[in-house]
Amino acid sequence: MDSAPRPLRSPMPHHAPVLPPARELTLLVYRQMRALTGPHRDLDDLAQTALEQILRSNYRGESKLSTFTHSVCYHVWVKHLRFSYRFRARFALAETDEQASGVDAKDPASLLEDRQRFLRLYEALERVSVKRRAVVALHDVSGLDVPEIACIVGASEATVRTRLRDGRKKLRALLARDPEFSEGASDAPPQNPPRRELPCPQS
């Protein structure tokens, strides 16, 4: 049995994924972390931690860069929350009086109103569970689609859809009580639409 020489596979062109310039990467990571945390006082430090991890990691280009950076941001944020819950549950340190970070408006005219709305939005989001909150923030604030979110949070698409539905429901209920958002909430479909009455049978 003659063994014909196997054709050599043409070498795949190896494109080493290149991270964008530091300035762009910094802005990208900050935006992504801000979408998750909101106007959190630790936002700058969390974004810096995520940035360090991204620069230290070996990004191989198996996913989109934004998915990869989002994933790092998500894990840094969840780890921070876990630490905070454990720490504060046991050691009641004095509450910080530092101002919320990362809330600025480009247009001074709408500064106060938008700032207030943004703060209230994340105050409401903080009352939604972490997993649901993350999915809502990634979908509704960052504008990602469900498969990408599933990749970032490490869950199935069905789970992500469920979390999105439940998180939105809870958020809508919370915002409906907030005067800042009551107009927007009225546009949303009612949670329990009124039952259609059956016509009376004609005798």
Partner 1 sequence: MSSELSELFERTLPPDDVILRRMAAARTRRVTDRPARRWPWALAGVGACIAGLALVRAVPDPILLVEPEHFDQKQAKPAARPGVQPTVGAAAEPPRGIEPGKEARTSKSNEAPADIPLRKGGLPPATWEAAAQALRAGDQAEAQRLLEELARSDDPEVRDGARLVRLRSLVQARRPSPTERAELTELSTSGATASIRAAARRLLEETSSPPDP
For the record, the structure tokens of 17 come out as 């994924």
Tell which one of 7, 143, 194, 201 touches partner 1 (CB under 8 A): 143
Task: Tell me if 75 contacts partner 1 by CB under 8 A.
Answer: no
CB of 151 to partner 1, least distance (A): 19
Residue 197 is classified by DSSP as P
Q: Of 35, 135, 138, 151, which lies in the binding site for partner 1, with binding defined by CB under 8 A?
A: 35
Using CB under 8 A as the binding rule, whether residue 169 contacts partner 1 is answered as no
Is 70 a binding residue for partner 1 by CB under 8 A? The answer is no
- Which burial class, exposed, middle or buried, applies to 131 when counting CB atoms under 10 A from its CB (0-12, 13-18, 19+)? middle
Task: Give the number of residues written for the chain.
Answer: 203
Q: Which residue has the tokens 């009225």?
A: 186
Using rule CB under 8 A, residue 23 touches partner 1: yes
- E strand or H helix at 5: none
Which of residues 47 and 134 has its CB atom nearest to partner 1 in the complex? 47
Spatial contact of 156 and 150, defined as CB atoms under 8 Å apart:
yes
Cβ density class 4-26: b for 16+ within 10 Å, e for less: eeeeeeeeeeeeeeeeeeeeebe
Tokens for 124?
């409401």
- Residues in 79-98 at the binding interface with partner 1, rule: CB under 8 A: 79-80, 83-84, 86-87, 90-91, 93-94, 96-98
Determine if 161 is a binding residue for partner 1 (CB under 8 A). no
**Site residues (vs partner 1, CB under 8 A):** 23, 26-27, 30-31, 34-35, 41-42, 44-49, 51-52, 79-80, 83-84, 86-87, 90-91, 93-94, 96-98, 101-107, 110, 114-115, 117-118, 121, 139-143, 168, 171-172, 184, 187-188
